[in-house]
Amino acid sequence: MIRGTFLISLLMCGYSLPAGREEKSALFEVPEIIISNGYQAERHHVITPDGYILEMHRIPFGRHQTTSEVRRPAVFLMHGLLSASNSYIALGPEYSISYNLADAGFDVWMGNARGNRLSRRHTTLDPDVDKSEFFNFSWEEIGMIDVAAMIDYVLEFTGEEKLHYVGHSQGGTSFLVLASMRPEYNEKLSSVNLLAGVGYMNHFPNKNLGATALLTDVIYVAALAVGFVEVYPPDFDRSLPWGKTAGTDRCTGNLETQYMCDLIGVRHLVRENESVSGTSDFLDIFEGHDIGGAALKQIAHYGQNIRDKAFRRWNYGLIQNLRIYGKVAPPAYDLSLITANVTMHYTVNDILLDERDVLAMAADMPNTVVRKVARDTFLHEDFVLAKDVKELVTDFMIESMLQIEHM
């Protein structure tokens, strides 16, 4: 069963830290890092209807600007699985998407999903005491509730009617969920750019992972039984058995310890096999940054979809599905309801998203175009970790937003 954690580790989209790092997380200093890079920064907090307190970060102006006479259209950026707002500034002022957008004249807002370390707060639940309840969510809730609440907050705060949406990986998944389940949100988006936005899973690229996904439900139930509902909890860095490389004798012990060791051990294998051609300073980028954390249910939900070759709602099992959805199988997200103008950027070297699935999604969504990244070795995580994302993706994306705004 422990082998099943292989699945989880591969779905983490490449943001974890080198093992053994124990200093305090820079994640909590995102606005301070932004300021040290020559920009202004703000922290905002948004409370969702179900009580989660989400932290947002804003870059209101371009570099060395403190005020602006002209209108600055709002853009909202949503991070990937286990990540946080820091992913959009990790490449520094020259190459990060958020800074590039601010310098191009946009009012930049970065979200943080419920349960990541910056949004690990609730009006009534304590994430450490009530963890089974607090972490009882997937990316469906992140899309339908968190992203919706943050979009509304930005529109209200700025007085804009619409904003531009950018989502990486799970940030794309949460858009697809929101815009199909609550289609009225399409009207609030002047453009959408998905960077390896994960949805359809008919051709999930990795065969080993596909095989392991068969164990999703077993793993999830076993994990719940030992109270393991949160991946990378805040004390992760300091907890010795998991803070070091797997395969050492530190990794013996209870199920939870083994689970985390296995998870990290496999990640290291994956990293060694990855081509990091475009990201020679791949590991350096993580210095001063940190992993966001997530609910295990987010990963299990991806696992269900990989197993079922589908993009659909949480599978409770036959009886519960009947009660909750009125059907034995969970309903699929209906992408034909997504009317926003969407550009799906993808790469052929993505171990988590197949080109055929991207094309199939675009075919089902009425106003969607695809754009293949012009470097075949570009990786899933390179959208936030490779410097050439600017010339390969960001410049194009910003140009199209400027056109829409007549700027």
Applying CB under 6 A, the residues found at the interface with ligand NAG are 132-133, 136, 190, 339-341, 367
Q: Which is nearer to ligand NAG, 99 or 165 (CB)?
A: 165
**Nearest distance from residue 136's CB to ligand NAG, in Å?**
4
Its sign, for the CA torsion 392, 154, 161, 177, is positive
- DSSP for 72-118? --EEEEE--TT--GGGGTTTHHHH-HHHHHHHTT-EEEE---TTSGG
SS3 227: coil
> Rg of the Cα trace of the chain?
20
Q: Which is nearer to ligand NAG, 297 or 307 (CB)?
A: 297
**Nearest distance from residue 170's CB to ligand NAG, in Å?**
19
**Nearest distance from residue 229's CB to ligand NAG, in Å?**
8
> Cα–Cα distances in Å, from 11 out to 23, 173, 179, 403?
25, 13, 23, 35
Q: Which is nearer to ligand NAG, 265 or 303 (CB)?
A: 303
Catalytic, 280? Answer no
**Nearest distance from residue 134's CB to ligand NAG, in Å?**
9
SS3 168: strand
Q: Which is nearer to ligand NAG, 188 or 387 (CB)?
A: 188
Query: What is d(CA 204, CA 219) in angstroms, rounded to the nearest whole number?
Result: 20
Query: How is residue 147 annotated by DSSP?
Result: I
Side-chain half-sphere exposure of 384, counting CA atoms within 13 A? 30
Q: Which of 122, 289, 301, 380 is catalytic?
A: 380
**Nearest distance from residue 340's CB to ligand NAG, in Å?**
5
Q: Which of 85, 169, 174, 191 is catalytic?
A: 169
Identify the CA nearest to 154 among candidates 112, 107, 115: 107
Catalytic, 169? Answer yes
Q: How many CB atoms lie within 10 A of CB 88?
A: 28
- By annotation, the residues acting in catalysis are 169, 380
